[in-house]
Amino acid sequence: MIDRLPSGSDRLDKVLGGGLPLNGITLLAGRPGSGKTILAQQYLFGNATAGRPALYLSTVSEPLEKILRYGQSLDYFDTSALGSSVFYDDLGQMLNDQGLPGVLARITELLRERRPGLMVIDSFKALRVYATDAGAFRRFLHDLAGRLSAMAVTSFWVGEYDDTDASDAPEFAVADAILSLSTEHTAEREMRVLQVLKLRGSGFLTGKHTYRLSPAGLDVFPRLADPLHDASYGGDVERISCGIDALDQMLSGGYWRGSSTLIAGPSGAGKTLLGLHFIFDGAQRGETGVIATFQENPVQLERILQGFSWSLKDPGIELMYRSGVDLYLDEWVHDFLTTVQRTGARRVVIDSLGDLRAAAGDELRFREYVYSLLQRCARANISVLMTQEVTELFGVTRLSEYGISHLSDNVLLLQFLRGDSALKRALTVLKTRGSAHDQHLRQFDITAEGVVLGEQFSPGQSLL
């Protein structure tokens, strides 16, 4: 079994299958500003000891003084460790005067003198231009890797590599692990992405994982993609009320515990209100509920709730409000799952899916996340209600552009109808998985009591 080097971040170690290989060579690749230096120093200060110190070696890309100045602004930077367990050295002058042979000699000297457990060379890519030819650079790599292996040193080679370097640069073949840090653009949004390109002798989480940079270092949010799971799905075979008696009757007794429900309809039709009925009904029955919303901030939502004699001060309600601006889907999902686990919630409302879709970047990524999220909730017997806005006010012809309705156990459609010189609201239960349901179109009104269902529309009534 390969020994691991922890990063200080449980989520990053999860992506790496437990951590980076100890005593291996890790290539940190990314454009300037992607956080390579921050991540490298995060590893150093988290693992350096007086007995197995860490070396940070700068070359000719960034002055050592600048690295130290910016490093001191980070939470993990421990000035008391400098000179005892963490050592910095500048190879720039040696590189300019004596080239790669001089650098190799200086590194060999430092290895013997300091006996480090970790070493960073930043920037490693800058060394390549000092080789007399490709063969000389390969010999330098071979000799350096041999010395690091003989001394059992975990090393990080930091460089401003791009996609073309992966097939051409020989250091990619030498490295035991390769981490790519990049930035993806979708319209006006920017999203930082970490990807494991190589991890010798170990499994890891594939795909792109978003991350943020902060004074605490690199905070990674692993991609949520649950495959088919062997665990049982829920243990409670029971119906739970949606909070509206007449709708419970249409659903043949309510929703199944642990099921997922999609409520689709145009703006103002009452989607959020149906979700609030569901959450506050659960709170009255002693079931904690989470309202995850991007639509109304706490002040707006409290104003709405007061009109129906509800309140966010209810001890059984947890509000998770996030702005849709600069939203990372990965970050939101992990925050959501943490909130659900912390509160012990049995019912959750996500209002709305459109905001999550905008943060996803692409349709496939969005569908994978929704599928994985619903599967996790189903296994834990957590009932999920989601809202989805449709663009058509009248005569709705499709529910969603994202293919989410087939993932839901229940699908309810709200729509506006014209009649008697006034707009009417109508509700239809389109789907209840594994259950019979009332398929009639029912008129409903929004009153001080919330949603009140009326009679079904007569066969001869115009529904245009």
Task: Check whether 321 has a pLDDT greater than 90.
Answer: yes
All structural domains of the chain with their residue ranges: 4-221, 239-456
User: Are 103 and 135 spatial neighbours (Cβ–Cβ below 8 Å)?
Assistant: no
Q: What's the token pair of residue 382?
A: 């957590």
Is residue 355 scored above 70 in pLDDT? Answer: yes
Beta bridge mates, 173? none
Structure tokens given for 245: 């008696």
Q: What was the pLDDT predicted at 419? A: 67
**Average pLDDT along the chain:** 90
Is the pLDDT at 28 greater than 70? The verdict is yes
Q: Once rounded to an integer, what is the mean pLDDT over residues 183-192? A: 82
Q: Is the pLDDT of residue 360 over 90?
A: no
Would you say 332 and 356 are in contact if contact means Cβ atoms under 8 Å apart? yes
pTM confidence score: 0.86
pLDDT value at position 50? 94
Over range 58-70, report the average pLDDT. Answer: 87
What pLDDT is attached to residue 41? 95
**160 within 8 A of 32, measured Cβ to Cβ:** yes
What is the H or E stretch that residue 153 is in? none
Range with lowest mean pLDDT among 193-197, 234-238, 317-321, 390-394:
234-238
Residue 151: what residue type?
Answer: M
Q: How confident is the model at residue 434 (pLDDT cuts 50, 70, 90)?
A: confident
**Statement: 4-221 belongs to CATH 3.40.50.300:** yes
DSSP-based three-state secondary structure for 195: strand
* Residue 289 CA: distances (Å) to CA of 261, 315, 351, 461: 15, 10, 13, 39
Contact between 438 and 244 (Cβ < 8 Å): no
* CATH topology match: 4-221 vs 239-456: yes
Give pLDDT tens digits for 233-269.
Answer: 555 579 999 999 999 999 999 999 999 999 999 999 9
Q: What is the CATH number of domain 239-456?
A: 3.40.50.300
Instruction: Pick the range with the lowest mean pLDDT from 187-196, 231-240, 279-288, 401-410.
Output: 231-240
In this predicted model, what pLDDT tens digit does every residue of 112-169 receive, in sequence order?
A: 999 999 999 998 999 999 999 999 999 999 999 999 999 999 999 999 998 888 888 9
pLDDT of 230 > 60? The answer is no
pLDDT bracket for residue 460 (50, 70, 90): low
